[in-house]
């Protein structure tokens, strides 16, 4: 499975849809900031990468995210220390 297919699979799971176009904006496809965090965790788990929320806000399509993960565009934002990331994820899950 190539990176494009992995990202597309993650999107369909997070958005609970059967199909998603590779050039559709995540937010126009029904995503929101909470679902973006869930997608982020899923993509990081699938790929072993350490993307951060700003990376997905800048790369909002399946194709753009696949390119980012495959290293075809600028490097992802460096990960903050674990406490900052945990706090961000906790706030996102609570809807704050």
| Predicted structure pTM score | 0.73
Q: What is the CATH number of the domain that holds 24?
A: 1.10.1200.10
In the chain, how many domains are there? 1
Contact in structure between 76 and 55 (CB atoms under 8 Å): yes
Q: Does position 82 have pLDDT exceeding 60, yes or no?
A: no
Helix %, strand %, coil % for the chain, to 5? 55, 0, 45
- Report residue 39 as tokens: 């997608």
Q: Does position 77 have pLDDT exceeding 70, yes or no?
A: no
Predicted pLDDT of residue 39:
98
Predicted pLDDT of residue 1:
76
Region 55-81 average pLDDT: 79
Q: Please indicate whether residue 47 or residue 89 has the higher confidence score (pLDDT).
A: 47
Domain ranges, residue 63: 3-94
Q: Tens digit of pLDDT for each residue in 9-66?
A: 999 999 999 999 999 999 999 999 999 999 999 999 998 989 999 999 999 999 999 9
Q: Does position 94 have pLDDT exceeding 60, yes or no?
A: yes
């Amino acid at each position: 499975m190539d990176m494009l297919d992995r990202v597309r699979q993650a999107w369909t799971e997070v958005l609970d849809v059967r199909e998603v176009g590779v050039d559709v904006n995540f937010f126009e496809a029904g995503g929101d900031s909470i679902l973006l965090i869930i997608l982020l965790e899923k993509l990081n788990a699938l790929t072993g990468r350490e993307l951060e929320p700003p990376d997905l806000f800048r790369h909002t399509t399946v194709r753009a995210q696949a390119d980012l993960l495959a290293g075809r565009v600028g490097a992802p934002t460096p990960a903050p220390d674990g406490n900052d990331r945990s706090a961000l994820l906790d706030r996102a899950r609570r809807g704050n």
